[in-house]
């Protein structure tokens, strides 16, 4: 099983972002770690389409009120 060997990485988040992810995780019945992994996986899936990147503008920062 490929998931048996997962990388552990330190991750620093603002308290506000952590709280938002934690609330979302609770709504989705996931742990915070599971929610972050789910969100990252979904972002990677959406970024690629038929082996190509979906948009040239995905790397541009967006305005979020979560810092």
pLDDT tier, 48 (very low <50, low <70, confident <90, very high otherwise): confident
Question: Is the Cβ–Cβ distance between 41 and 33 less than 8 Å?
Answer: no
- How many residues are present in the chain? 67
pTM of the model as a whole: 0.67
- Asked if 67 and 16 touch (Cβ cutoff 8 Å), the reply is yes
Burial class (CB in 10 A: 0-12, 13-18, 19+), 48: exposed
Overall average pLDDT of the 2-15 stretch: 86
User: What average pLDDT does this structure show over 34-44?
Assistant: 89
Question: Residue 61: what pLDDT?
Answer: 64
Segment 28-55 shows an average pLDDT of 81
């Amino acid at each position: 099983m490929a998931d048996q060997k997962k990388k552990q990485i330190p991750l620093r988040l603002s308290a506000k972002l952590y709280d938002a992810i934690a609330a979302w995780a609770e709504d989705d019945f996931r742990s915070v770690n599971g929610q972050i992994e789910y969100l990252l996986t979904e972002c990677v899936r959406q970024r690629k389409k038929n082996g190509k990147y979906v948009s040239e503008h995905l790397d541009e920062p967006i305005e979020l009120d979560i810092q």
